[in-house]
């Protein structure tokens, strides 16, 4: 173990924050450039761009399920979190490099329709980011003692990651999205790989502690596949409809009715109502925590409909309102918009709170 880790110096906190920063930067590149490049370089229709984006969250949800089931119970590459950070970082960097070269990859594989390859690249990029996001945060808890030191670790992570997120949009605004994509790929690769070799992970996680109120033993992190799918129960309707929509589009099938869409809508509303109306009173701590988590999941899902719509279709709005802009200028306007959004998001809470 390095001396800076033993003493928990500020330089160690900076190193500890870099893997999360890499994944945050990759996500910022995706938000700024994915819709833009699919429209301007590959000329996909707006509804197809929506389907490409829909593939990502599916991979994210499934990836979180798998990683949640195994991440706390594995040890290889001399670490518990390190393997997922390394794999996710390399994959994310490769998929960023693939974005401007989807047509080249498509031709090399002898394919004609570019939509399928675009979905595959977006799906892999989102999966890589989601596979690494939790481990990059969990490693902070693994190597810092509970209390002030751990809070300091997360504060450093949030500050550095947020700063680089704003920097990503600044690069796109000052130069262009191609510069952002290629520089982002290099940065994501370096910030994912190098810091992990300066961090020594504990072989054993902290033991579970009994609940002081009801004597319940709180199990250490790590969920079975069934438990995790049950945890995301409020999102089942969204997940089912996304898989259905992508399958129809890739299969070239035009549905004659909208019964399945209505079924997914009814299922979503029913599951969300069930989650929001369920009471936590009188429940054991673990059960009450799960109920609270599902309430947050249900409430935030509506917020994310709006946020995700902005991420996906901002470029189309700019193109509609300012048709005289060229492709590069339109990309800069989108980057400036997200730069302002993230700058306000970083400054306002600190100012108000």
Q: Is 210 helix (H, G, I), strand (E, B) or coil?
A: strand
Q: Which pLDDT value is given to residue 342? A: 82
Cross-strand pairs, 217:
210
Residue 193 has pLDDT above 90, yes or no: yes
Chain mean position to CA 115: 22
Q: Is 143 helix (H, G, I), strand (E, B) or coil?
A: helix
Determine the number of helices (DSSP H) and then strands (DSSP E) in the chain.
13, 0
Per-residue model confidence as pLDDT tens digits over 227-284 = 777 888 888 888 888 889 888 888 888 888 999 999 999 999 999 999 999 988 888 8
- Percent of the chain's residues with pLDDT above 70: 88
Stated pTM of the model: 0.84
Q: How confident is the model at residue 44 (pLDDT cuts 50, 70, 90)?
A: confident
**What's the CA gap between 208 and 352, in Å, rounded?**
37
Highest mean pLDDT among 50-64, 139-153, 297-311: 139-153
**What's the CA gap between 213 and 284, in Å, rounded?**
9
> Taking Cα atoms as reference points, which of 37, 323, 55, 44 lies closest to residue 180?
37
Burial of 129 (0-12, 13-18, 19+ CB in 10 A): buried
> Taking Cα atoms as reference points, which of 192, 76, 173 lies closest to residue 131?
192
Residue 59 has pLDDT above 60, yes or no: yes
Mean pLDDT over the full length of the chain: 85
Residue 20 has pLDDT above 60, yes or no: yes
Q: Which pLDDT value is given to residue 221? A: 46
Backbone angles phi, psi at 76, to 5 degrees: -155, 165
- Percent of the chain's residues with pLDDT above 90: 31
Residue 70 has pLDDT above 80, yes or no: no
Q: Which pLDDT value is given to residue 224? A: 62
Task: Decide which of 157 and 71 is more confident.
Answer: 157
Residue 323 DSSP label: T
Domain boundaries, given as residue ranges, for the chain: 11-203+224-229+314-352
Percent helix / strand / coil, the chain, rounded to 5: 80, 0, 20
Residue 213 has pLDDT above 60, yes or no: no
Backbone angles phi, psi at 217, to 5 degrees: -85, 125
Average pLDDT over residues 290-307: 85
Q: Which residues, 6+ apart, have CB-to-CB distance to 37 below 8 Å? A: 99, 100, 177, 181
CB-CB contact of 51 with 242 (8 Å): no
Q: Which pLDDT value is given to residue 185? A: 96
Q: How confident is the model at residue 66 (pLDDT cuts 50, 70, 90)?
A: low
C-alpha to C-alpha distances, 209 to 213, 217, 321, nearest whole angstrom: 12, 6, 57
Count of beta carbons in the 10 Å neighbourhood of residue 48: 18
Does the domain at residues 11-203+224-229+314-352 carry the CATH identifier 1.20.1250.20?
A: yes
């Amino acid at each position: 173990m390095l001396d800076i880790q033993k003493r928990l110096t500020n330089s160690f906190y900076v190193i500890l924050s870099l893997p999360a920063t890499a994944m945050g930067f990759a996500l910022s590149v995706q938000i700024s450039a994915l819709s833009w490049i699919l429209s301007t370089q590959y000329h996909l229709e707006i509804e197809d761009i929506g389907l490409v984006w829909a593939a990502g969250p599916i991979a994210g949800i499934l990836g979180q399920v798998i990683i949640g089931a195994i991440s706390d119970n594995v040890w290889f590459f001399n670490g518990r979190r390190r393997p997922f950070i390394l794999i996710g970082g390399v994959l994310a960097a490769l998929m960023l490099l693939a974005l401007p070269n989807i047509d080249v990859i498509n031709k090399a594989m002898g394919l004609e329709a570019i939509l399928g390859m675009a979905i595959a690249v977006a799906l892999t990029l989102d999966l890589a980011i989601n596979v690494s996001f939790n481990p990059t945060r969990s490693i902070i808890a693994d190597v810092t003692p509970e209390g002030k030191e751990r809070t300091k670790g997360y504060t450093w992570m949030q500050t550095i990651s947020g700063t680089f997120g704003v920097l990503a949009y600044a690069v796109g605004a000052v130069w262009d999205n191609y510069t952002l994509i290629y520089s982002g790929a290099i940065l994501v690769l370096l910030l994912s790989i190098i810091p992990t070799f300066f961090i020594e992970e504990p072989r054993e996680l902290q033991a579970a502690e009994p609940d002081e109120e009801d004597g319940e033993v709180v199990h250490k992190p790590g969920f079975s596949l069934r438990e995790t799918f049950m945890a995301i129960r409020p999102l089942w309707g969204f997940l089912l409809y996304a898989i259905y929509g992508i399958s129809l589009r890739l299969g070239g099938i035009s549905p004659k009715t909208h019964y399945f869409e209505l079924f997914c809508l009814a299922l979503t509303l029913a599951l969300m109502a069930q989650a929001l109306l369920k009471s936590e009173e009188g429940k054991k701590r673990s059960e009450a925590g799960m109920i609270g988590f599902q309430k947050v999941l249900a409430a935030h899902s509506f917020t994310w409909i709006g946020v995700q719509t902005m991420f996906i279709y901002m470029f189309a709005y700019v193109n509609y309102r300012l048709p005289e802009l060229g492709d590069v200028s339109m990309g800069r306007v989108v980057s400036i918009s997200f730069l302002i959004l993230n700058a306000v998001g970083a400054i306002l809470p600190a100012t108000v709170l």
